Structure formats: C-alpha cells, structure tokens
Amino acid sequence: MSTYHWHRYTALESFDRIKKGEDPWVAHGDFLDDWRRSSHEDRLELVKEPLGEIIIPEERQWAALFAASIEYLCTQEGNNVPSWVKEARYYLQEPWYPEARSENMRRLLRETTPLMFAQHNVFGGNNILDRV
C-alpha cells in the first residue's frame, strides 16, 4: 500500500460526517477527491465497510448517493463492487433530484443521469461526480 501524508476519508467516515451535520456535498466531495488521489490498488480500502446506521430520511438519500457513486466508480475502473452497496437500504423508494426545483430540471436530470444512479433512484445528472 502507498504511503499517504493526509487522512483519506472512507465512505463510512464521510457518511458519518453528514450524520454529524457537516455539509453533505463537502463530505461526498472529499470522499471523491480521496478516491481519485489514491492509488488504484488502495481505493477499495475506502469502501470496504458499509455506511453507518440510517436514522433520518434525509440520510437515506445521501446513503443512496454514496452507494451509487461507489458502484459507478468501481464499475468504471473494473474493480469489484462491494456487495453492501446493493442492499435494499441503499435504494430509494422515490426519485430524488438533489437541489432541483423545477419540473424542466427534473426532466433534464432524468434524461442525463447515468443508469447506475437512476437504479438507486438518485437523479443528479451526468456531472454529479465532477469536481473540477
């Protein structure tokens, strides 16, 4: 394993930051950054543990986003997808359009969201994992 001179946030830790009241987009973004800054062979280490307990409905949405992101990233890179991301609790009952306020935007997000996110009922468009 490579040596890292900063703390790399795991998915579990990142989700805990959200549960503690931190900005969810910052926590999710930090996780994405740490994933991408890690050597390919060290990335699965960040997602091996399932997310913590989901208590409030809003946490379920973020948990679904994390699960979809991990499934997408692992698949894209040819890594094995951790089995926990496919547990029922990481699939939303209702579609979620993060921060969309208009019907036209929701329609646009439905049309552009990658299938893997849509399967989790998270419709964030095709740039939801973009950081720069």
Partner 1 sequence: MTEVYLPSLDYLLAMKIVAGRRQDMRDARALIQYLNISHSQEVIDVLQKYMPQQYLTVKLQYIIEDLLA
- Rounded Cα distance between 87 and 108, Å, is 28
Question: Whose CA is closest to 54, among 99, 18, 94?
Answer: 18
Cβ proximity to partner 1, 8 vs 110, nearer residue: 110
Query: In one letter, which amino acid is 96?
Result: W
If one asks whether residue 128 binds partner 1 (CB under 8 A), the answer comes out as yes
- Rounded Cα distance between 29 and 52, Å, is 18
CB of 65 to partner 1, least distance (A): 10
Cβ proximity to partner 1, 86 vs 107, nearer residue: 107
In the stretch 80-109, what mask flags binding to partner 1 with x, by CB under 8 A? ------------------xxxxx-xx-xx-
If one asks whether residue 118 binds partner 1 (CB under 8 A), the answer comes out as no
Q: Any residues with CB less than 8 A from the CB of 13 and at least 6 apart, and which?
A: none
CB of 62 to partner 1, least distance (A): 13
In the stretch 21-50, what mask flags binding to partner 1 with x, by CB under 8 A? ----x---x---------------------
Angle at 110 between CA 105 and CA 113, to 5 degrees: 110
- Rounded Cα distance between 53 and 125, Å, is 27
Binding site for partner 1 (CB under 8 A): 25, 29, 98-102, 104-105, 107-108, 124-125, 127-128, 130
